[in-house]
Amino acid sequence: MKTNIYAYWVFLLFTVTALSSCKKDYLERNPLTQISNDEYWKTATDLDKYILQFYTTFPVIESVGTYTGLTSWDAVRGADTQISGTASTMWNGARTPVTSGGNWTWTDIRNVNVFFENYRKCKDPFHRYQQYVGEAHFFKAKFYFDKVLTYGDVPWYNKPLSMDSEELYKARDSRSLVVDSILSNLDQAVTHLSSLKTVAGGSNRLSKEAALLFKSRVALFEGSWQKYHRGTEFATAGADPNKYFRIAKQAAEELMKPEYKTGIYNNSAPNEDYNRMFSLSDQSANPEVLLWKKFDRTQNLSHSYQIYVSDRTAGISVTMEQIQQYLDKTGAPYDYLTLAKTVKGNKFLTKIAQDCDPRLSQLIWIPNMLMWDNSYGKGTFGKPFLDKSGEYLNNTGFQIKKGNDPKDPQAGSGVAWNTNSITSSIIFRYAEVLLNYAEATAELGETVDYERSINLLRRRSGMPAFVANTDPYKNRYADYGYTISNELHEIRRERAVELAAEGFRYDDLRRWAAHKLMLGKRPKGYPLDQSEWTGQKINYQVDNDGLIDPYVKQLPSGYQFNPRRDYLECIPTNEITLNTNLKQNPGW
Amino acid sequence: MQRIKLRKKLKEPGGPSALSVALSLLLVFFMTMPAMAQSLEKRLNLVYRNTTIHEVIVDLQKKTGVDIAFTEKLGLKNRKVDKLLIKDESLEQVLHRILDPLEVKIIKGTNGLVLIKKDQEKAPGILSGKVLDSDGAGIPGASLRLKQGKVSAVSDSNGAFRISAPSAQDTLLISYLGYATEELAINPSSENLNIILSTAKANTLTELVVVGYGTQKKANLTGSVEVIDAGKLKNRPVVNVSQAMQGTVSGVQFNYGSMGYEPGAKMGIQIRGQGSPFVVIDGTVGDLNDVDPNDIESISVLKDAAASAIYGARAPYGVVLITTKSGSLGKKVAVNFSTNSALSTPIDKPHTLDAYTFVKAMNEMHDNQSVARLFTEETVDRIIKYMKDPSGPQTIPDPGNPKNWATYLLSNGNNDWMDIHFGNGNRTQQNLSVAGGGDNSSYFISAGHTYEKGIMKFGKDDYRRINLNSKLEVKLSDWWKFSSNTRLVQSDRNKPGIDGDYALALHHVLRTHPNQWLVSPNGHYSNLSRIPAMLASSEGTTERSLTQRFATEFKPLKNWDINVDYSIDLPYTDYEKRYLTAYEDRVDGSMSAIQATVPSYITKEKSNTFYNSLNVYTTYRYDLKEDHHFSLMAGYQQESSRRDLLGGLKRELIAPSVPSMTTAIGEMRAYDEMSHWATMGYFARFNYSYRDKYLLEINGRNDGTSIFAKKKRWGYFPSLSAGWNLHKENFWTRVSPYVNTMKIRASWGRLGNQRVAAYQDLPLLAIEPSLNWILNGGRPAYTTGPNLINPNLTWESSESTDLGIEMSFLKQRLNFVLDVYQRMTFNRLGPAKALPAVLGATVPKENNSELRTRGWDLSLSWKDKIGDFSYGISALLSDYQSVVTKYNNPTGILSTDYVGKNIGEIWGYETVGLIRTAEDADRINKSKSQSFISAQTWRTGDVEYRDLNGDGKVNQGMGTLTDPGDRRIIGNSTPRYQYALNLNASYKNFDISVFFQGIGKRDYWLSGNMFWGFNAWNQTSLFPHHLDYYRDTEGSTYSGLGINTDAYYPRPYSDNAQYRKNQQNQTRYLQSGAYIRLKNLQLGYSLPKTWISKIGLQKARIFISGENLWTKSSITKGFDPETASLGEYGSGKNMFVQAVYAAGLNVSF
């Protein structure tokens, strides 16, 4: 047994080695590539990096609509002015209750509340991070406005909730309260944000100007909503529409002051300026654009816009309802339907392009226009893509061109999966403020200063000054089911023209309670000239006016919008099961 | 001391043989022939007084070290000696002096002397021969014993033996650790016996089974442990262990990953429906699929908590212990070589429709939708023309863009994309091993190579693995052993890098329309064929793992072992994607870059891990008299791991032939990922056995992990198990002729689960590299909101009880094992209580629910030998079901779990059928009974759902358990009644094995274009069986296929808002995943010894082997019951199941 003495020694050695390596903190392993909340929020940079995440929530080219983003957003959501191959469920009454999801996601609101809960920990002087506080206020307002747009009344939260918060089970706050809170946040944003002249990042970053624009948008929406839905379940009892119109007007007037860096993109080319602005890949020198998203292929951030306003259509078409909004070049209402009885097809397109507001021929393709002139060769527009389908489809004859630049290297690319376009995506532009101002002022019954507002837009496109016409054709395309003044009619018409295919129409129709425009009706196309299609089979029927009736089979009785339900979305039924204090929207 | 004990055993018939086997093994080490010769010559000087001859011989044996075997029948205990004087005499002389008068003869055996009575020695036969293993190599140290003669011997270093047979008619028992004991009848003419021991050991209860931190006799196991015979894994033309293991263990499920049968596919393993088991290879944590199946000695699967409790929280879902082959002391060099080559071919590969039928069906779909037809008459005419004369062009210049070829809707080819892209694959495997040992050391060295080429015809799609394994064991002294084990494995997986994703490549190919052109009139592949991108780009992953283990074992005292081992594992992963610009031609013949492949880029990721683990454990055995056996084991383990990944990307490669970061000039990005963790555990095991009849085992482990917060870090996990060997009871003798053995065992154990994401107790902000927004010319880094945390997060624990019964019948030829178990999972981490979405964050997991799994595993085997014909049948059958027994869901909402939910439940509507008449459609539209599902107009050929609750509406009610509307549980996706059947037989030199495997019951809800065929226009995949869709209009030249109102599939639509109305989860389209499959068939022929010995071979066997040769299943075409629900881009979009045909050779010398 003598040898075994060594065994004990060896064992002892191993044991000592083993035990010495089991340090007390052996099991303490902190994260190596993540930062805990307690260690964050120390510097202005921390606040900057945190707030940046919200910039991607703006609807832009690659995030909404079809391949053309905002340009097709109205068709996807549902409007009279734009359609896709299949009728939108928004307007045909074919919507069904949802059990979960929808827009009822609260991550962004929580995350912005996290900012408010933590930013005071920052050790830097306030002026170093004031911009980010302003941005937080702006984004909170934006996120809540999105909720109000979809659901009306929503619960307001001032702090991030925890799993045992009683507020999880609170009832909805009235939309007036929520909108007032949004406006108050926007006031804070205006106070803290830098102006466009000084903000680091220029018009790629939020500014006082952007916040003022957004404030006028929110207030105008709420004023119109409360006014035109008054007496229905959608309005708030006792709400004062004029209060909001006044706020909208004030915010817009503030921004119209010369101290702000704003303007209109006008290179004195009335037949091009309007379209060219949307085709630019860089808006930093454009005073009209208050916020935009930049794309850069070397940064791996690009989309496929140009191909879908040249070689293809993204399946989206403009309707006759949109076209009829355009005045003639003298500023007088134009009788499109009478013209359509005799002049059809390409000739119709060419004729209206000659006669009407130049913005019309900058919105849609007119025969013989140059579509692309680049390495893919030269392409001109022959006639609308009525014989095609899918992402090539045009089913009205009015085919979207807005934003096309024939010289763009991607225009006309017939290559599939081309995502190399870097056309900018405009988020806020000054033109909207002028239209908001005019509408809010007119709604208040006050005098509109057209020279400082709408006439700036008209002048860019070579149109005469604003006149409150008596429009003999307005019932064809603007029968809201209630009477409005000629002036307001003209302002709304101007809005539809200037902001065509920018994603405004859907919300405008809702705030104006404009379901009469579509209920029981079908959107129409241009007067079809069968002789242009001999040998090519196209499936379209025409109506009594000779206009293409693209939805005649899909919607035999027209749109079946439910005015007592469809103005607001269904709150996911699971949420009502989980929180019995949450009441469902009307009709759902 | 040891030798005396041996003799004692000899004197008592019966008794556990394992011990004597072990001891005779020791004898070989201690006593060699020259030593004995010396001892016999050694001169002795001794005096004995007042003793017996028995005691004299015992003492002489002690003093000389010579083994002297004799039986009590000689009556030496009664022969008294008053005085015996030995002066300068040899042992032999002394023995002759005292034994000759007693008529006792002394025979020199191989390893000692044997004493026998002279008058019994009618035919003083000496039997000689060789003990060989199945490869023909001699087995040294095998123990030989005559049943009646009570004589024993041990084979020498070459496996040769000599044994004296006192009686001419007797039975020779030959046993060796790890081999089945052989019985051989001997007679006077027996000579030069060659005894081959087989490793097939299923019938022997004496075999040792590898368990956690030790081995245990199978007879004494109290937990549920199943051993996989390595023979079943051999010579299968599969590329890794997991594929080979499928169907070899009862109660273990195997499933393919999302890519199906891709090259090198690793199968996921679940023991009893739980998560993946903890895999230990030769004492070190490892990946099952990193082992060459040829190197495996045995696999133990520890199925219940009692068996795996010693691994505590690392093994919440059972353990797989792999023991690789080793050399052994004093064993001659044995070289084994095996190889096989195989051809693989997809089974049930669907075919694309011909282009004309396809475009007519697509146009009909668009007619249904009242939208423009997809294919113009002009295009259809061109397709018809091309199909009549395929020598013409497959496309035309794009009318809208005449410089480019028209694609998609304007193309007029007729291509079967399945045939174009999927062909045959091949596989090959080689393994060479050398094993042996000298006096103090043994070794095993092996090298293996495996290669599989996938069935994709274009682009790289293959897998290669190289295994190098060496094991060295050194005996430094009687009490100290040292061993070293080095394993190196490298695998390379190459995939086509199309659109940066292999799964996407499949998705694209499966939805390419038949009219799409393959080759342009200029003779170049189209972009939409995906071929240019597949050929240009590639994606390769190299995984390399170097594992080194040092282990040492001390024996300070006879029954005391101390083991210390230290292992390092260095897994390394190297990923590289080359995304190169691909080109297609334009009409003028110039080549233009495919836009999606611009800019080109190269991305690389390298990750290093340093893992190390230390185990110190000690075992002490204590026997109280003959009956009580105690064993106590206690130990400590710590392990830690740190992973560091460095990755980068650079765009715009200058020259595709030199793809590197240095030769790229565009945007550059670098990133890293680091993580680390550590665990610590103290464990102990206590075993008690009373005469191997009553068995008790207690395990305990205290585990700590870095995963949890400081105060929640440690958990204690005990287990208790007991067994009763009924056949050892006296009363059993009446039953034993019928039921040879019977054991009942019961176990209970609690296990923890630390396999949860780390840092869930910390609110962390993720730092993301590049915002989807450009600011000041760059994409800034940004952070996202901190996660919501649950500071109370702690161990999920489970309690398992297992009742097992093991029986053998008919001379142990029929074996039966049944286990019934229940597993309760407490503090289960799962989707937490459903909270209102206004919370705005993912609700952190909580330890708030409970799950109960109940199931049973059955295995039945039969093995017999009739003359030269031996055969065996084994059958496995198992089943389990899991039910949620506690869940915080007071409203009973169906979107999360609820109490009473069977895991795998599929909720859906009951289908009435397709709407057959316009009246029925009107009724549904007028009553708006189905308007919840879709407010679109319902038409003939659409699905009618049953209004189960009779409220006139088909809907989901409140979506709760109490108000589920018209949905009910229509099926369950849990695989039930999993079975396997293995038949094998051999006759003389021929052998055959047939292996079936299947699932008795399983439901699948399949979705997407592979199932429905029709989808949005560019997502449609039409195969011939999809043509059985509802049609009620006559077909024309340009649209429609004619009336088919008695269809299986509903009326197709091209728009989601329309087709979703017919694609609700429902009974009509629920699929059965039940199947039976001929998984493997193998035929072998061993070349006669007389031939091969001339060229120096011990053994040579040639074989043919086939995988997946036959399947029976009722699942819809285009899907395989094993992989139907898989696919990152939708059900069934994974690599086709393949049949494999192989031929191979095994040689040993």
Cβ–Cβ under 8 Å, residues B757 and A25: no
CA distances to A78, A172, A522, A562, B409 from A567, in Å: 12, 17, 19, 8, 39
- The pLDDT-based confidence of A262 (bands split at 50, 70, 90) is very high
Maximum alpha-carbon separation in chain A? 121
Give, for A346, the enclosing helix (H) or strand (E).
helix A345-355
* Residue A359 in this model has a pLDDT that exceeds 70: yes
Cβ–Cβ under 8 Å, residues B607 and B642: no
For residue range B762-789, what is the model confidence (pLDDT) as tens digits? 888 888 888 999 999 889 999 998 888 8
For residue range A402-438, what is the model confidence (pLDDT) as tens digits? 999 999 988 887 665 567 899 999 999 999 999 999 9
Cβ–Cβ under 8 Å, residues B864 and A187: no
Backbone angles phi, psi at B449, to 5 degrees: -140, 135
pLDDT the model gives residue A68 = 87
How many helices and strands in chain A, by DSSP H and E? 20, 8
**Cα–Cα dist B827/B886, whole Å:** 10
Strands B1099-1113 and B319-324: unpaired
Q: Do the chains contact at B936 and A537, CB–CB below 8 Å?
A: no
Strand ranges, E, within B61-159: 67-69, 80-90, 104-108, 112-117, 125-132, 143-146, 152-154
* Residue B1054 in this model has a pLDDT that exceeds 70: yes
**Cα–Cα dist A96/B932, whole Å:** 6
Which two three-digit tokens encode residue A483?
Answer: 């009477």
Measured between beta carbons, the chain B residues lying within 8 angstroms of A52 are 771, 773, 775, 780, 782
∠ CA B807-B808-B812, rounded to 5°:
160
pLDDT the model gives residue B11 = 36
Burial class of residue B459 (count of CB atoms within 10 Å of its CB; 0-12, 13-18, 19+): buried
Query: Closest chain A residue to B378 measured between Cα atoms?
Result: A536
Q: Check residues A53 and B556 and name the one with the higher pLDDT.
A: A53
CA distances to A75, A353, B41, B99, B104 from B49, in Å: 118, 137, 24, 17, 22
Answer CATH for B208-341 from 2.170.130.10, 1.10.10.10, 1.20.140.10, 1.10.3720.10: 2.170.130.10
Strand ranges, E, within A4-162: 35-36, 82-83
Chain A and chain B share a number of CB contacts under 8 A equal to 306
pLDDT the model gives residue A211 = 97
Total residue length of chain A: 588
**Cα–Cα dist B604/B620, whole Å:** 52
Radius of gyration of chain B (CA): 36
- The pLDDT-based confidence of B9 (bands split at 50, 70, 90) is very low
* Residue B219 in this model has a pLDDT that exceeds 70: yes
Q: Do the chains contact at B554 and A11, CB–CB below 8 Å?
A: yes
User: Which of A75-89, A122-136, B278-292 reaches the highest mean pLDDT?
Assistant: A122-136
Q: Is B1033 on the interface with A (CB under 8 A)?
A: no
**Cα–Cα dist B1025/B350, whole Å:** 9
Q: Give B865-909 as a 3 state SS string.
A: EECCEEEEEEEEEEEEEEEEEECCCCCCECCCCCCCCECCEEEEE
∠ CA B1072-B1124-B248, rounded to 5°:
85
Query: Which residues in chain B are classed under CATH 2.170.130.10?
Result: 208-341
Please give the average per-residue pLDDT across B835-856, as a whole number. Answer: 89
pLDDT the model gives residue B874 = 92
What DSSP character marks residue B19?
Answer: H
**Cα–Cα dist A418/B595, whole Å:** 5
Least confident range of A385-394, B612-621, B738-747 = A385-394
For residue range A452-469, what is the model confidence (pLDDT) as tens digits? 999 999 999 999 999 998
Least confident range of A188-202, A374-388, A471-485 = A374-388
pLDDT the model gives residue B121 = 46
Please give the average per-residue pLDDT across B919-946, as a whole number. Answer: 91
pLDDT the model gives residue A555 = 86
Burial A534-545 (b: 16+ CB within 10 A, else e): eeeebbbebeee
Is the bond preceding residue B659 a cis peptide, omega within 30 degrees? no
Backbone angles phi, psi at B410, to 5 degrees: -105, -5
Q: Do the chains contact at A415 and B594, CB–CB below 8 Å?
A: yes
Cβ–Cβ under 8 Å, residues B828 and B248: no
Please give the average per-residue pLDDT across A249-254, as a whole number. Answer: 97
Measured between beta carbons, the chain B residues lying within 8 angstroms of A46 are 783
Least confident range of A148-157, A334-343, B270-279, B635-644 = B270-279
What is the distance in angstroms between the Cα of B716 and the nearest Cα belonging to chain A?
A: 16
CB atoms within 10 A of CB B702: 17
What is the distance in angstroms between the Cα of A242 and the nearest Cα belonging to chain B?
A: 31
- Residue B154's SS3 state is strand
Q: ipTM value, please give it.
A: 0.93
For residue range B281-300, what is the model confidence (pLDDT) as tens digits? 998 888 888 899 889 988 99
**Cα–Cα dist A509/A515, whole Å:** 7
pLDDT the model gives residue B1114 = 93
- β-bridge partners, A485: none
Measured between beta carbons, the chain A residues lying within 8 angstroms of B637 are none
Q: Do the chains contact at B935 and A32, CB–CB below 8 Å?
A: no
Output the average pLDDT for chain B: 86
Query: Closest chain A residue to B1038 measured between Cα atoms?
Result: A537
- Residue B419's SS3 state is helix
Strands B591-593 and B601-624: unpaired
CB atoms within 10 A of CB A160: 23
- Residue A221's SS3 state is helix
∠ CA A524-A526-A528, rounded to 5°:
115
Measured between beta carbons, the chain A residues lying within 8 angstroms of B782 are 49-50, 52-53
What's the CA dihedral at B111, B112, B118, B122 to 10 degrees? Answer: 0
For residue range B973-1026, what is the model confidence (pLDDT) as tens digits? 999 999 999 999 999 889 999 999 999 999 999 988 999 999 888 889 999 999
What is the distance in angstroms between the Cα of A4 and the nearest Cα belonging to chain B?
A: 5
* Residue B1030 in this model has a pLDDT that exceeds 50: yes
**Cα–Cα dist B724/B696, whole Å:** 9
Q: Check residues B198 and A253 and name the one with the higher pLDDT.
A: A253
Look at phi and psi of residue B787 and say left if phi exceeds 0, alpha if psi is from -120 to 50, else beta: beta
Please give the average per-residue pLDDT across B363-378, as a whole number. Answer: 86
- The pLDDT-based confidence of B186 (bands split at 50, 70, 90) is confident
For residue range B808-818, what is the model confidence (pLDDT) as tens digits? 998 888 999 99
Which two three-digit tokens encode residue A533?
Answer: 């299609």
* Residue B10 in this model has a pLDDT that exceeds 50: no
Please give the average per-residue pLDDT across B814-835, as a whole number. Answer: 87
Q: Do the chains contact at A55 and B834, CB–CB below 8 Å?
A: no
* Residue B757 in this model has a pLDDT that exceeds 90: no
Output the average pLDDT for chain A: 91
Measured between beta carbons, the chain A residues lying within 8 angstroms of B935 are 89, 92-96
pLDDT the model gives residue B865 = 85
Class of domain B2-193: alpha beta
Please give the average per-residue pLDDT across A14-21, as a whole number. Answer: 62
Q: Given CA atoms B368, B369, B371, B374 in this order, what sign does their dihedral have?
A: negative
Q: Percentage of chain B with pLDDT > 90?
A: 48
For residue range B881-907, what is the model confidence (pLDDT) as tens digits? 999 998 888 778 888 889 999 999 999
B 385-424: CB under 8 A from A: 398, 400-404, 407-409
pLDDT the model gives residue A5 = 64
Please give the average per-residue pLDDT across B1074-1078, as a whole number. Answer: 96
pLDDT the model gives residue B206 = 58
What is the distance in angstroms between the Cα of A455 and the nearest Cα belonging to chain B?
A: 33
How many helices and strands in chain B, by DSSP H and E? 16, 56
Specify the amino acid at residue B690: Y
Q: Do the chains contact at B595 and A95, CB–CB below 8 Å?
A: no
Residues with Cβ within 8 Å of A130's Cβ and at least 6 positions away in sequence, in order, are: A192, A194
Q: Do the chains contact at B408 and A27, CB–CB below 8 Å?
A: no
CB atoms within 10 A of CB B875: 16
Query: Which residues in chain B are classed under CATH 3.55.50.30?
Result: 2-193
Q: Check residues B913 and B165 and name the one with the higher pLDDT.
A: B913
Q: Do the chains contact at A3 and B478, CB–CB below 8 Å?
A: yes
CA distance from start to end of chain B: 39
**Cα–Cα dist B524/B514, whole Å:** 17
CB atoms within 10 A of CB B281: 27
**Cα–Cα dist A384/A372, whole Å:** 16
Q: Do the chains contact at A414 and B407, CB–CB below 8 Å?
A: yes
pLDDT the model gives residue A14 = 64
Measured between beta carbons, the chain B residues lying within 8 angstroms of A281 are none
pLDDT the model gives residue B632 = 95
pLDDT the model gives residue B1058 = 85
Cβ–Cβ under 8 Å, residues B572 and B609: yes
Strands B319-324 and B278-281: parallel
- β-bridge partners, B690: B628, B694
Q: Which of B266, B293, B264, B605 is nearest to B463 (CA)?
A: B264
Q: Which of B1075, B1093, B1084 is nearest to B979 (CA)?
A: B1075
For residue range B646-665, what is the model confidence (pLDDT) as tens digits? 999 998 999 888 889 999 99
- The pLDDT-based confidence of B501 (bands split at 50, 70, 90) is confident
Backbone angles phi, psi at A211, to 5 degrees: -65, -40
Measured between beta carbons, the chain B residues lying within 8 angstroms of A163 are 788, 790, 832, 835, 839, 843-844
What is the distance in angstroms between the Cα of A504 and the nearest Cα belonging to chain B?
A: 23
- The pLDDT-based confidence of B126 (bands split at 50, 70, 90) is confident
Nearest to B680 among A8, A22, A311 (CB): A22
Which two three-digit tokens encode residue B820?
Answer: 């019934």
Query: Closest chain A residue to B554 measured between Cα atoms?
Result: A7
Q: Check residues A434 and A387 and name the one with the higher pLDDT.
A: A434
Specify the amino acid at residue B553: E
What is the distance in angstroms between the Cα of A434 and the nearest Cα belonging to chain B?
A: 27
pLDDT the model gives residue A462 = 94
- The pLDDT-based confidence of B39 (bands split at 50, 70, 90) is low
Cβ–Cβ under 8 Å, residues B791 and B759: no
pLDDT the model gives residue B666 = 86
Q: Do the chains contact at A376 and B596, CB–CB below 8 Å?
A: no
Q: Check residues A291 and B316 and name the one with the higher pLDDT.
A: A291
Q: Do the chains contact at A33 and B675, CB–CB below 8 Å?
A: yes
pLDDT the model gives residue B15 = 37
Q: Do the chains contact at B835 and A52, CB–CB below 8 Å?
A: no
- The pLDDT-based confidence of B442 (bands split at 50, 70, 90) is very high
Which two three-digit tokens encode residue B547?
Answer: 């594992």
Measured between beta carbons, the chain B residues lying within 8 angstroms of A15 are 616
- The pLDDT-based confidence of B23 (bands split at 50, 70, 90) is very low
Q: Do the chains contact at B775 and A582, CB–CB below 8 Å?
A: no
Nearest to A301 among B409, B614, B772 (CB): B772
